[in-house]
Structures are given as C-alpha cells and as structure tokens.
Chain A
Amino acid sequence: MLPAAEKVITRNWGKPDSWTLEAYRANGGYRSLEKALGMTPQAVTDEVKKSNLRGRGGAGFPTGMKWSFVPKDSPKPKYLAVNADESEPGTFKDRYILENDPHMLLEGVTIAAFALGVRTAYVYARGEFKFQAERLQRAVEEAYQAGILGPTVLGKPFGLDVFVVRGAGAYICGEETGMLESLEGKKGWPRLKPPFPAVVGLFGSPTVVNNVETIASVPTIIERGAAWYAGLGTEKSGGTRLICLSGSVNRPGVFEITLQTTVRQLIEDERYGQGMPAGRKVKAVIPGGSSAPVLAAHEIDVELEFEALKKIDNMAGSGGVIVMDDTTCMVRSLWRVIRFYAEESCGQCTPCREGAPWAARLLRKLEEGRGEPEDLEILLHVAHSIAPFPPIGLGNTICALGDSVALPIHSFVARFREEFEAHISQHRCPFGDRPWGHYGALRA
C-alpha cells in the first residue's frame, strides 16, 4: 500500500473560505512569516537550500541554489517574479493554488522576498486566469490592509510590494525570460542566455523567477524545518509534489503525492486516479505535460520524480500526467500536441518557427490518410532538425519550446511506429474520424 502523502500545499484546500485571510490565519497562516522575519535572510536561504526543494515549473532546478546566484552586492534593485503563467497542456495545479490558497503563495512570496532582499515582487498570471488573478489580487489587498505587505511587513523594518500582472494569452510567456520581457511590456520573446535572470533579469536587474508551487512550499519549509521537508522526498529532491492527472482515468484532478509514487500507482490508487474506465487499458502516458516524451504502457512503473524520469530520458516537467487508453489514435494525439506548439511558437528561431507548422502539416496528412511512406522519415528529420533526441536538451533554438516540439515527435514515433505506418498503408486513420478515436477495438 502506498503511504499517504503529507499535505503540504493542499492542506487548506476544501476548507470553508480557504482563500480569505481570516480563514488562512485561522488555519495557522502567516506564522512561518513571523518565524522567518525573526531569522536572518541568509538563514532562510540556507533552510530552503537544505530542504532540497526543487523548482516545480518544469526544470526541477534546486530553488535554494537559484536564490544563492543573486549577486549580493548589486547596486540595482532585486526582483522576485512568480510564474503563474501555467499554460502547459495537461497542467492545472497552480490554478488550484491561486483559487484555494492565495495567501499561502503570498506568504511564500514575502518569505522569499525577505530572504533575497527583494522590495518588489510580481506575480505573472496567464491571461486566461481572470478569476484566479482577481482572487489573488483580493488576497493582496487583504494583506496590505493587515500590514503584511506594504512599507513594513508585520511591523518589521522590511517593506514589500506585490503586483499581480496578467498576461495576454501567449504560452511562450511562461518561459522565464519570455515572461520577463512580457512583464517589461514587450513582446514575449525569450532572451538569449547567458546572462541568466538571476544576474540580468527584469528591467536589467537581478531577478529570481520561481513557479507558484515552488514559492507556496516555502512557508511549510520554514514552519516545519528543512529536515522534515527533505525527509518527505528522495535523496535529491525534497517534499511532495502536485500532480495533475487527466485523460482516461476514473478520477482526474490535482493530487498531492509523494515522489516515490509511480505512474501506475497514480492511475490505479483509490486516492488518486481510481483506475481506467471499464474495459480499457493504458496505452500511453505523458508524465510531465505535453512537451515531455510519451511513455508506453510497459514503462509506467517509473516514479514521478526528477532523477528517475531523467534516467529514462524523460522529464518530470510540470506534473501534468495525461493518460491515453487503447482507443486513442496516437497520430491524432501527436498532431494535436504539435498543432499547439506550432500555434504558440514565438517565431524567433527559424527551426521552431518553420519546423513546427511543417510537422503539424505532415501529421495532418498522415491522420487524414494521405500519408506517403517517406513522410514519416521527413517528420523525424524535421524533429531532429529542431532538436536531436536523446538526450533531452540538445535543441537548436534559443528556448526550450523547440525541444517541446521535437520530444513528442521523437517519442511518439519511436514507441508507436506501427500505428503511424498503419495510417500510411491503410490510407485512413484506423481509429475512425472521431476527435479522440471511437470507443471500440482497434479496427484491423
């Protein structure tokens, strides 16, 4: 039996009016902030470092280390930018945090700002998060009135302003430097790195960019201690994590899991997915949002943890687990994924800008039964020209969106090649023409 995960992020979810300051305080909120303000900023950073907290946005970069890259002696102001531009298909965890517990995020922002010496913090919410941004904005106003934000924080000689900014609906603005450009009021084109944002970020100043879930984990780390938090996780990665389970399972949703949980356990456990719909089998699972490589049914005994997934050339990504059953056409799924990236490519780098629409066009041709034998090779070649694989991270583009186009193509074709070839040899989609296949056996 899988051990129950400690509730770190989700502990207040579902409680009455959990998004109000009153309820948050009643549940013990803002006590870690008081504790943190009694420590030195360096001690807070060290605590986060010791907790083995890793970024939950997708890269899984150690948060404490990221904080320590900020130059201490910079004459420029420092900024904290919280990335709430949660746009990855299959990912919807930050949205739940903003809806259910905005004050936990704000407390984390305040503690992080104190540790980093930040006086101005931004929360960049995606354009579609109107309700969520408004709820966060209300929480910010409550915090200002309660003296938690503003010229002094809880009466201490430390001031912090928090601004909630909404994007205009571009996926690429979730890329950290694209987000900084967008925050500056420019077109969300990712920047060249180096310099990294920790040195030259928002308005040319040192900036820490963290995901909502990452920052929301900080109050608990301070409250319960780094050792406790690190103990929840694995050797290299502390704490629990949120998983967004979607697709063909009986109980899709956001779950807080331990890092030792495997994909199979996530799908089948009573507390999580509660198994597949009757009569259906797992065909494929995307473990970390749509840009992660796909896993075939025999590979799903892998733990949803950064290092374990990295070992099999995959990635933990943003925690968006998408389950596909045996009635799903993989060509159509891949086409849908690539269409998304073709639409969302920012247009800066040639391979991604031109390659993604070309791949989408090839996939449409395959799915509609017009495919020719050489099309599959062309498709793989296009993907290879955008980003060779394996390993992850060889992309020929400025940001990782290029990799996000190539990885699904490489992995889908590698695992389900017969299905692609069946589309070509049969001159039609073997699953019929319904959007996600029809609910029946695969026609011969």
Chain B
Amino acid sequence: MSPKDNKPSSPPPPAAPPAKPAPKNPGFVTLNIDGKEVTAKPGTNLITAAKTVGADIPYYCWHHRLSIAANCRMCLVESSTSPKLVPACQTALQEGMSIRTDTERVAEVRRSVMEFLLLNHPVDCAICDQAGECKLEDYYQRLDHKPSRLEGGKILRNKRKVLGPLVVLDQERCVQCTRCVRFMDEVAKEPQLGMFARGSEEYIDVFPGQQLTSNYSGNVVDLCPVGALLNRDFRFRARSWFLSTVASVCTGCSRGCNTYVDFMGQDVYRYRPRENDAINQSWMCDQGRLSYKPLNLARVQAPSLGRADDRREVTAAEALLRATAQLKAMAGTAELAVLVSPSCSNEDLLAGLTFAKDALGVRHLYVGGRPDGAADALLMRADKNPNRKGLAWVSAGLGLSLEPFAALLKAVQAGTVKALYVLGAEVPVDEAEAARTLAQVEFIAVQATNVTPLTETADVVLPTATHVEDEGSFVQEDGVVQRVRRAFPPRGSTRGHWNWAVDIMREFGFPLTYESARDVFRELSPKVPELASFGWDSEAPPLKTQRGLQPLATGADGRPPGYREFGAPRVRGI
C-alpha cells in the first residue's frame, strides 16, 4: 500500500458498534436537519429527507434510480457522526444524528466545488442547448456567483462527438458525474458508455468502434446535468425557456410511459419522460421519444370531400352533411362497417362507439391500429397502440364485439361492405395495400390525424386532433388509466374524434350537448365499469409541472399557450 492508503479517508471500522439508541419513533429514523426534526423511513436518502424540511442540498451525480457514486462532492454536509464533511447522497440516516446544510463551511465547499467544475467548463451557454435547464447554471447563480480565478487555457476536448443515432457529446462541458455510464450499465443493461483516461483529462466516450445504439440512449441526455450529452433531434431547435410544458402520456406503444410534452406555439419539440414509479420509473425509450413527430408533420388539417383528383377542401358542416347523408341511408344494415383504432383515447372511443352503436346501429367493430413492432424487456412493447385495453373495455361496456382487421378485408373483398366509417386511420397491415383493397368500398368516411393512403382514398375526411391537442385518457397494458393534458388548441380545423362523433350524431338527430372530452367521459363512462371509478379530474397530472416562471395560461391573452412573438417571453411573475 502507499501512504495515501486508507489512512485519512477510511477511519477504521469500530471494533464493537456502540449500542444504538432506541428510536424515538419506532419503525422510523428520527434525525435533526438544520435544527429541524425529521422523521423518515429507514433507507431514505438524506437528500430526499432534507428536502422535506426545505433544505435543498445541491447535487450532480446523485440520481434516485442509479447507484451512488458520490463523486461530484457537491452534496457535502456537516454531520455529527464525522469530523469530515460527508456526502449527503451516501450518508445513511442514523437515529439521533444531526445534519447541518446551512453552515459557512458547507457553503464554502459548495462554492469551491462549483469553481472546480467551472475550471475546465467552456461556459458556452449561449450556444448550449442545456441553457435554462442546466444544473451548473442554476447552482452558479445560487451558490457561487463569483468570477473565475483560473488564468490561461482550459483543457480542449472533442466538442461534437457523435455517439450514436440520437446522442451527441460535447466532452468539454462534461462534469464527469458518470450518471450516463451508470444508467447504461444498470438500467439499460447495455454498457455502451465508459469513462476514459484519468484525472482532469478524462472523458466520456463510447468504446472504440462502437456506437451508442441502445433504444434508451435518449435518457442519458435527460440525465446529463449539464449540456454535455445532447439530443441530436432537438439540438439547436429551441431555447428551453421558450418552451412550454404539459404532462402527458407517450402514445408510441401500450406501455403508456408518462411524459412531458415540450411545445412552442402549435409545434411539439420533444418528449421527456415523467416520473412514474409503477410504469416507466424515470425513463422512456428512443422510439417513444421520437413518436412526437407525427404530431407536427403530415397532418390532415381541413375537412375534405372526394377521392384522389376530385378531392376538395370543404367546411366542417359540408363534410358532416355529406357523411350523414351517406351513412344514414345504410344505418342498421350489414353493408355498413366501422373500423376503430386502439390508438384513440377513451373519450374518443366512448363517443365514437356510442355513435357507431346508437346511430349507425352496428353490433361489431373491426379493429385497426398500428401493426406490432419490436419489443424489449424494459419499456418498449410490441403493441404500438396506446389504448387497446381501453378499446376492449369500452366496446364490452357498450355491448359491441371486436373483429380483427383481416375480417374487414375479407368482407370488403366479398363485396358485402358498402360503406365504411373509420375512427382513426391506422391499419395493422401495409397501408397502401389496405387502402387499395378498401377502395372497393363505395363510401368511406375517415376521422384521421395524419395523411395516410387510407385518407387519400376516403370520400369524407374529418381532420382530427392529436392527444396533445385535447384532454383525454388512455388505458395502458396493465390496466392503469392515465389522463393527458391539453398542450395547445387543435391545429387548423381539427377536432377530437369525440367532437366529430358528437357533431355527426347531432346530424343524425341525437340531441347531445357534450362540450368537451370531460363531458363525454362524465356522461358515457358509467356504461363502462372499469372506467366508471376513474377520477377524471382528481387523477389528472398537475397543470403546473415546472417550478419557477410559468408560461401564460391557455388563452389568457387570446393566443394559444406557448405562443411567442419575437422579443422577451411573456411569463407570469415578471
């Protein structure tokens, strides 16, 4: 051993541990943080416990779902159990211990760690995507706020190392917290990242000849407390403080990972995973992360009539009249079929299926939806439809049976289907081929969010809002009902599936007064026992999802939320 060995840093373990004091609150650990008594479950992290009494201990490397590294040394606090400062992330709670997070000594060590971290940090916040949501920035404002005392150059490293399809690394901005390395090792279980070299020259990288190809690579971008790991899809597209955020659910597969939708105006810029212990913990897969793109691209924006070259945009009233005239004639006959997608929300299904049953008089539904895809052990599921379970519940509640998509194709080829009403234009087979087959049907009315071959062959296209443009709820694979929040009003002339269904039912002569998805759920969900107990309002994620300044509330000044003109952002609190 060398003399540095375990002498100061590893005090010898005590020969016989002193008798533990009797716990003040049996079953719990009672300790003192900044003079305030804290009672916590044994095993609680000190950082978490301190938050309950308002002591916000800063940290970089700690993450509640990763192993403890204790290498950033930002969370050092004074403890009655040690003459040294101890890292809060690593310190086990002990009965009767006393922690100080507010002393001069702690403040000084935080300031010095900030200074150390900024020594070789390029401070290129002006061109950094992390600016605005960067721990270095936040803690500098809060804890350091002093100019650098370092003279001369900084260590130069690779500023744009492409690690994989989704992630690019700026090695100069890295603070060596190893969160990304630990995530890939422990959660993704694909150890594709490593820490190379030694001392201040060390850097994160992929191993030689390899790439960060994991389906969970996007999470390292979220984990990175600074702007070192960046999302290539999002990079240089928006300043984070101009983005508004709303809590939602990923609709990429049946797992239903909880997300934040970051948007500006009526464009979604990215998904970020939202904490949910039961479903996705703190993560989401890359496929789900990129599934926001159809919300912006190739949207059906206006109602239209006529197939192929005869297509023309019309008003909503005209489209509704046409659809009503055609469908009413065949209502109640076997010549009318309804195709429904398990990607629609519960409210869409409740209204749409009520329409199908009461107005169109069908007894069974053909199930469309996206085809199955790749799956993995962590979060991604083969079923790419977010609400198959909801469809099963709602159809059963309304007494409708479900038929596979292949049965519809067969019936069309047999010529027994003369009219088709489509709720969600996704099909589980090759879209172009399905559209060619379905084109044999004399009349097709489609409610669709995006342009697909099926919308091209439809006689009536009703443009539909996506899940970020309307309130709603989805049932994920385990039967958990999850609310989504509306980010911004529907694009163009789009309306929710439920809204079209309600409108067309009015044309059919049903006096419905539903004004919102909430009304639909309140009125129709009692028919579905599984949904009846769901607290549509009480179980919704909070509207205020970020601390600090908030964008203007919806429509506060007559503009869509998140809408920004050039110039200073209008935020509450300034």
Contact = CB atoms under 8 A, between A and B. Distances in A.
Label chain B's interface by main secondary structure.
Answer: loop
Contacts of B5: 57-59, 83, 174-176, 211, 400
Interface in A5-51: none
Interface string B66-96: 0011111110100000011100001000000
A392 B7 contact: yes
Interface string A374-385: 000010010001
B200 A320 contact: no
B2 interface: yes
B116 interface: yes
A351 B113 contact: yes
- In this complex, the interface size class of chain B, counting residues with CB under 8 Å from chain A, is 35 or more
Given A395-B84, A396-B73, A396-B85, A193 B2 contact: no
A351 B151 CA distance: 18
Nearest to B149: A378
Given A393-B9, A397-B73, A403-B9, A347 B1 contact: no
Given A61-B6, A171-B2, A385-B109, A346 B199 contact: yes
B519 interface: no
A358 B199 contact: no
Contact of B13 (A87, A198, A398): A198
A398 B9 contact: yes
A247 interface: no
A348 interface: yes
A60 B45 CA distance: 33
A187 B6 contact: no
A209 interface: yes
B567 interface: no
A91 B300 CA distance: 77
Contacts of A86: 2
Interface in B110-128: 112-113, 115-117, 119-120
Nearest to A318: B3
Contacts of B2: 57-58, 85-88, 91, 171, 174-175, 289, 291, 318
A219 interface: no
A88 B116 contact: no
Interface residues of A, number: 78
B7 A348 contact: no
B334 interface: no
B119 A354 contact: yes
Interface string A186-221: 010010111010110000000001110000000000
B176 A347 contact: yes
Nearest to B175: A350
Contacts of B150: 358, 361
A61 B12 contact: yes
A270 interface: no
Nearest to B176: A347
B202 interface: yes
A350 B117 contact: yes
B533 interface: no
A315 B7 contact: yes
A399 interface: yes
Interface string B1-45: 111111111111101000000000000000000000000000000
Interface string B366-396: 0000000000000000000000000000000
Given A378-B149, A398-B9, A83 B198 contact: no
A387 B84 CA distance: 9
A69 B178 CA distance: 32
Contacts of B12: 61, 65-66
A320 B5 CA distance: 14
Contacts of B175: 350
Given A211-B1, A345-B200, A397 B9 contact: yes
Interface string A334-357: 000000001111111111011111
Contacts of A347: 176, 195, 197-202
B73 A288 contact: no
B1 A209 contact: yes
A317 interface: yes
Contacts of A394: 8, 83-85
B152 interface: yes
A170 B197 CA distance: 11
B347 to A, nearest CB: 50
A403 B199 CA distance: 15
B71 A175 contact: no
B199 A174 contact: no
Contacts of A237: none
A112 interface: no
B4 A88 contact: yes
B141 to A, nearest CB: 19
B9 A399 contact: yes
A328 interface: no
A345 B116 CA distance: 14
Given A288-B3, A318-B2, A318-B3, A393 B8 contact: yes
Contact of A353 (B85, B115, B199): B199
Interface string A387-423: 1000011111111111110000000000000000000
A345 B198 contact: yes
Q: Which of A56, A91, A179, A351 has the most CB of B within 10 A?
A: A351
Contact of B70 (A192, A288, A403): A192
Contact of B152 (A65, A353, A361, A398): A361
Contacts of B120: 354
A203 B482 CA distance: 44
Nearest to A385: B112
Contacts of A292: 3
Q: Which of B71, B76, B151 has the most CB of A within 10 A?
A: B71
21 contacts: A57-B1, A59-B7, A61-B12, A87-B2, A88-B4, A174-B5, A175-B2, A192-B70, A289-B2, A318-B1, A320-B3, A346-B199, A347-B202, A350-B72, A357-B200, A361-B150, A378-B149, A393-B84, A398-B71, A400-B6, A403-B7
Interface of B: 1-13, 15, 68-74, 76, 83-85, 90, 108-109, 112-113, 115-117, 119-120, 149-152, 175-176, 195, 197-202
Q: Which 6 A-B pairs have the closest CB atoms?
A: A57-B1, A58-B3, A393-B8, A317-B3, A385-B112, A59-B7
Interface of A: 55-61, 65-66, 68-69, 83, 85-88, 91, 170-172, 174-176, 179, 187, 190, 192-194, 196, 198-199, 209-211, 288-289, 291-292, 315, 317-318, 320, 342-351, 353-358, 361, 365, 378, 381, 385, 387, 392-404
Given A171-B2, A174-B2, A403-B7, 10 more contacts: A57-B2, A59-B10, A65-B12, A83-B5, A344-B198, A347-B201, A349-B73, A350-B117, A385-B113, A393-B7
